[in-house]
């Protein structure tokens, strides 16, 4: 595969999985002390990547769960954020200003805090009650954060007797890094072709739904916009027909991300429309990939991870075709704001 280190990828994702025992010990103690709710908190992409874990909890647990933006949470008078809250804070660098500040804010509220970071001995890592470190970089962080947030969500449900498949899922998750590697390999040629075809495309509509909505939003904003300076319109498949459809012309690029949960019918509706009115529809469907060792019950939950891993191949080839490094920024960490 182009510009890809297999060993590095597997080490990072297996590194996320290796945190399971330590995470379980922490979650078990927190649950035994008693919690009323869970908050996933972050800034930008780190918060968006928590949407999937929130969605899983909402659909499989009665434990109240919220995903909040770091800076906004500090300005809210959130009545559910109390000393009985568990707050999970994500920041790859461990230095994200707003997330460091909100960690202090949550501690003042008396909440129990967990940080998910890529580097230890950073401001966020040193100020939370529990810290989990797994080194990753931009091209590997999506899968790492997903895996870690899933391990936490699954354990919370297990402790509440809400996930009878817990032990089976745990064994299957160990197969995920190898399965993701095969997804990348299977996507390589298609990713290269997409990048070549769309290297000059100025605008894309991206649509997804359900557990995959966060990945749809993330790829549009954090990759295509931030890292490639391409204008996008991320729209939930349900909302596509309440505004965005009027922007569709025959040359409008539409990227549809299809997962396998119960909301799949909503993306199929977008697909039927787009096939009639645009000649530039691209569909990435997780059903097209085998995922050896992953049961059907787990497949529909891990589809955002599958989409993230295949879209990394698209990003890599866009970087090459557009001669625009994914690390290039105009404003972020360049000017004060």
Q: What is the pLDDT of residues 81-123, one digit of tens each?
A: 999 999 999 999 999 999 999 999 999 999 999 999 999 999 9
Q: What is the pLDDT of residues 199-234, one digit of tens each?
A: 999 999 999 999 999 999 999 999 999 999 999 999
SS3 of residue 125 by DSSP = coil
Contact between 66 and 39 (Cβ < 8 Å): yes
pLDDT at 117: 98
pLDDT at 147: 98
pLDDT at 167: 98
pLDDT at 337: 87
Q: Indicate the pTM of the whole model.
A: 0.98
pLDDT at 125: 98
pLDDT at 170: 97
Q: What is the pLDDT of residues 261-320, one digit of tens each?
A: 999 999 999 999 999 999 999 999 999 999 999 999 999 999 999 999 999 999 999 999
What would the mean pLDDT of 187-206 be, rounded to a whole number? Answer: 98
DSSP for residue 240:
G
Q: What is the pLDDT of residues 14-71, one digit of tens each?
A: 999 999 999 999 999 999 999 999 999 999 999 999 999 999 999 999 999 999 999 9
Q: What is the pLDDT of residues 226-258, one digit of tens each?
A: 999 999 999 999 999 999 999 999 999 999 999
Q: What is the pLDDT of residues 127-154, one digit of tens each?
A: 999 999 999 999 999 999 999 999 999 9
Q: Which two tokens stand for residue 153?
A: 């969500």
The strand ranges marked E within the chain are 37-42, 65-69, 85-91, 112-117, 130-133, 203-208, 231-236, 253-258, 280-285
- Residue 17 — φ and ψ, nearest 5°? -65, -30
Write b or e for each residue in 133-172: b if 16 or more Cβ atoms lie within 10 A of its Cβ, otherwise e: bbbbebbbbbbbbbbbbbbbbbbbbbbeeebebeeebbeb
What would the mean pLDDT of 157-180 be, rounded to a whole number? Answer: 98
Nearest to 160 by CA among 81, 82, 300, 57: 57
Cα separation, 215 vs 3, in Å, equals 23
Cα separation, 99 vs 310, in Å, equals 28
What's the mean pLDDT when you consider all of the chain?
Answer: 98
């Amino acid at each position: 595969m182009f510009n890809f280190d297999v060993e590095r990828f597997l080490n990072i994702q297996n590194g996320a999985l290796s945190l399971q025992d330590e995470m379980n010990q922490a979650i078990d103690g927190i649950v035994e002390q008693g919690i009323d709710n869970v908050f996933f908190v972050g800034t930008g992409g780190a918060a968006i990547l928590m949407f999937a874990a929130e969605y899983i909890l909402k659909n499989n647990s009665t434990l109240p769960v919220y995903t909040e933006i770091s800076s906004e949470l500090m300005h809210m008078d959130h009545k559910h954020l109390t000393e009985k809250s568990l707050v999970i804070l994500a920041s790859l660098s461990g230095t994200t200003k707003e997330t460091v500040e909100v960690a202090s804010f949550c501690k003042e509220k008396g909440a129990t805090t967990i940080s998910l970071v890529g580097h230890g001995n950073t401001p966020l890592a040193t100020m939370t009650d529990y810290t989990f470190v797994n080194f990753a970089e931009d091209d590997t962080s999506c899968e790492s954060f997903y895996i870690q947030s899933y391990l936490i969500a699954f354990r919370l449900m297990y402790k509440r007797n809400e996930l009878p498949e817990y032990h089976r899922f745990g064994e299957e998750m160990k197969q995920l890094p190898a399965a993701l590697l095969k997804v990348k390999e299977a996507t390589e040629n298609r990713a290269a072709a997409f990048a070549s075809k769309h290297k000059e495309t100025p605008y894309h509509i991206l649509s997804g739904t359900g557990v995959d909505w966060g990945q749809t939003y993330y790829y549009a904003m954090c990759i295509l916009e931030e890292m490639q300076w391409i204008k996008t319109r991320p729209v939930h498949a349900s909302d596509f027909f309440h505004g965005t459809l009027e922007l569709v012309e025959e040359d409008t690029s539409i990227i549809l991300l299809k997962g396998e949960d119960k909301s799949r019918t909503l993306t199929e509706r977008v697909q039927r429309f787009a096939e009639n009115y645009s000649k530039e529809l691209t569909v990435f469907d997780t059903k097209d990939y085998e995922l050896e060792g992953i049961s059907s019950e787990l497949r529909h939950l891990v589809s955002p991870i599958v989409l993230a891993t295949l879209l990394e191949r698209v990003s890599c080839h866009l970087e090459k075709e557009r001669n625009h490094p994914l690390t290039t920024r105009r404003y972020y960490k360049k000017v004060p704001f």
